[in-house]
């Protein structure tokens, strides 16, 4: 890292933190802190949705998918991952039809209040508890992944410093915590917009540099990548162990996104921050097409990296394909541009982390503290508590990040955690929104059955991860309906 690179990286960290702190003056209540004043433009919320679902692993891992060589083309090494992204878009239309109208029927501030209105407090508490545990574990792992980027910078600048991992986690975690603590969701939304622009710009710059550095330019890319099958987009394989097929992508991707964007408080919180139902629908649907562009860009970068290293072979082999983009940034990018790319990777990490902190605090306050501990708490008390709970969750995530150093593959760990709960969560929400005969006992048993089933599938089968949420949802929905019908139904709890 040259001096200019370091100035760009740490200038970004300080600047984005100061920018987020500026929004403190917009907070007068806990509602302002968690959903703003519901006056943020839907395009800003759209950008925040995209930035939130994009982590450092996305910017590193997606190019690696297109770069890599796999035994089956449907495992990667081409553009077949976009079949999954097509499912992401389909899911957003379904969410806008099924979930968003239900969320806007009442003055909801968390996703799980919908389950309380339909099935009662116990189901809401169960779902919210699952969210808190899984979100903390998953984003603690992502915090560690983000620290790897800063750690790489520190290792070059301070090669003899003995606590690089600890320092890296603290830098990313504390600076993100500061602006999230001060500015609440509004700060998160606007900093997400800035971070989206930075990391997309970084990917575009990388693509142009590769295009210019490859002998023969675009014509050579077409020839070499075409011969290697890099431009394959569709696969109609029916093998359930293969993740990137038309069926697994479209169906599995649809259910994955229905769960992550329709039931996860971290993303539902953004939909609830929109001015009205119409803006919420525009934000979620438009974000799908932005994500499609983003993933196509990153996959294209991966294809160009493949062609580039055919002409300029790596001096030392990669430990794994995930190293290919970071290696190119460090070794081949010009001074200043390398700093921009490191800042871009850090931006993706901070956007996800800040969203996690705010959503964890919102669920803790609104799903547990206010209804169960202090129903009469005034706005000033709730606002102060909200900020300190944000700090609490920040510490928790950093502690988990320290522990996650020994958990193995970050991608595998994150996927395992998500696969265990997204299916049961989506199944519970569908039972609440689509049926009138499902009961509280049925939903609870269905969720537990789904968690057990997905754990067994993960341990004992080779089924591709793209099918996990569909399977978990199906088990929860089927068992929930059977138990409800056998145990007898009771009137739906209606909102007064």
Q: What is the CATH number of the domain that holds 161?
A: 1.20.1730.10
pLDDT tier, 30 (very low <50, low <70, confident <90, very high otherwise): confident
Q: What is the pLDDT of residue 142?
A: 72
Decide if 490 is inside a domain. no
Decide if 447 is inside a domain. no
CA angle 279, 360, 31 (to 5 degrees): 50
Q: What is the pLDDT of residue 496?
A: 39
pLDDT at 149 over 80: no
pLDDT at 363 over 80: yes
List pLDDT tens digits, range 196-240: 888 888 889 889 999 999 999 999 999 999 988 899 888 888 888
Decide if 417 is inside a domain. no
Instruction: Please tell me whether residue 304 adopts helix, strand or coil conformation.
Output: helix
Q: Which tokens go with 317?
A: 């082999």
Q: By the 8 A CB rule, do 220 and 74 touch? A: no
Distance CA 487, CA 482 (A): 8
Q: Which tokens go with 93?
A: 């239309």
List pLDDT tens digits, range 256-269: 899 988 888 888 88
Q: By the 8 A CB rule, do 21 and 353 touch? A: no
Q: Which tokens go with 283?
A: 């934000």
Decide if 435 is inside a domain. no
Q: By the 8 A CB rule, do 285 and 277 touch? A: no
Decide if 105 is inside a domain. yes
Highest mean pLDDT among 188-192, 199-203, 267-271, 471-475: 471-475
pTM of the model: 0.84
Other C-beta atoms closer than 10 Å to the C-beta of 427 total: 29
Number of domains observed in the structure of the chain: 1
Decide if 494 is inside a domain. no
Decide if 430 is inside a domain. no
Range of the domain at 243: 3-409
Distance CA 181, CA 21 (A): 8
Decide if 263 is inside a domain. yes
């Amino acid at each position: 890292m040259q001096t200019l690179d370091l100035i760009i990286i740490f200038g970004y960290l300080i600047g984005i933190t100061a920018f987020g702190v500026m929004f403190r003056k917009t907070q007068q209540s806990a509602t302002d802190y968690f959903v703003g004043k519901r006056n943020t433009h839907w395009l800003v919320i759209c950008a925040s949705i995209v930035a939130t679902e994009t982590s450092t692993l996305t910017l590193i891992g997606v190019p690696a998918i297109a770069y890599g060589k796999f035994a089956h083309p449907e495992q990667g090494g081409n553009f077949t991952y976009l079949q999954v992204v097509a499912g992401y878009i389909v899911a957003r239309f379904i969410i806008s039809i099924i979930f968003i109208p239900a969320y806007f029927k009442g003055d909801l501030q968390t996703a799980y209040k919908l389950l309380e209105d339909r099935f009662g407090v116990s189901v809401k508490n169960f779902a919210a508890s699952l969210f808190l545990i899984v979100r903390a574990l998953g984003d603690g792992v992502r915090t560690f992944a983000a620290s790897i980027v800063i750690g790489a910078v520190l290792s070059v600048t301070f090669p003899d410093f003995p606590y690089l991992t600890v320092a890296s986690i603290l830098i990313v975690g504390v600076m993100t915590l500061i602006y999230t603590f001060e500015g609440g969701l509004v700060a998160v939304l606007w900093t997400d917009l800035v971070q989206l622009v930075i990391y997309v710009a970084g990917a575009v710059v990388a693509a142009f540099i590769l295009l210019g550095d490859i002998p023969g330019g675009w014509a050579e890319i077409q020839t070499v990548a075409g011969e290697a099958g890099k431009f394959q987009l569709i696969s109609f394989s029916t093998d359930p162990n293969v993740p990137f097929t038309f069926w697994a992508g479209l169906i599995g991707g649809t259910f994955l996104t229905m769960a992550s964007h329709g039931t996860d408080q971290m993303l539902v919180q953004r939909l609830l921050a929109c001015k009205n139902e119409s803006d919420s629908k525009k934000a979620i649907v438009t974000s799908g097409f932005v994500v499609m562009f983003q993933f196509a860009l990153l996959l294209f970068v991966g294809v160009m990296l493949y062609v580039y290293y055919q002409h300029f072979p790596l001096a030392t082999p990669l430990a794994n394909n995930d190293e290919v983009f970071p290696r190119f940034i460090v070794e081949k990018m010009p001074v200043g541009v390398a700093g921009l790319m490191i800042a871009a990777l850090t931006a993706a990490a901070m956007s996800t982390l800040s969203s996690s902190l705010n959503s964890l605090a919102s669920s803790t306050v609104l799903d547990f503290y206010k209804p169960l501990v202090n129903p009469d708490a005034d706005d000033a008390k709730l606002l102060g508590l909200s900020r300190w709970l944000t700090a609490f969750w920040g510490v928790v995530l950093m502690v988990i990040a320290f522990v996650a150093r020994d958990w193995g593959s970050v991608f595998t760990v994150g996927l395992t955690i998500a696969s265990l709960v997204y299916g049961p969560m989506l199944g519970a929400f569908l039972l609440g929104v689509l049926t009138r005969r499902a009961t509280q006992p049925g939903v609870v048993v269905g969720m537990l059955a789904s968690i057990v089933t997905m754990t067994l599938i993960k341990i004992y089968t080779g089924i591709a991860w793209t099918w996990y949420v569909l399977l978990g949802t199906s088990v929860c929905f089927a068992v929930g309906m059977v138990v409800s019908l056998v145990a007898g139904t009771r009137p739906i709890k209606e909102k007064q």
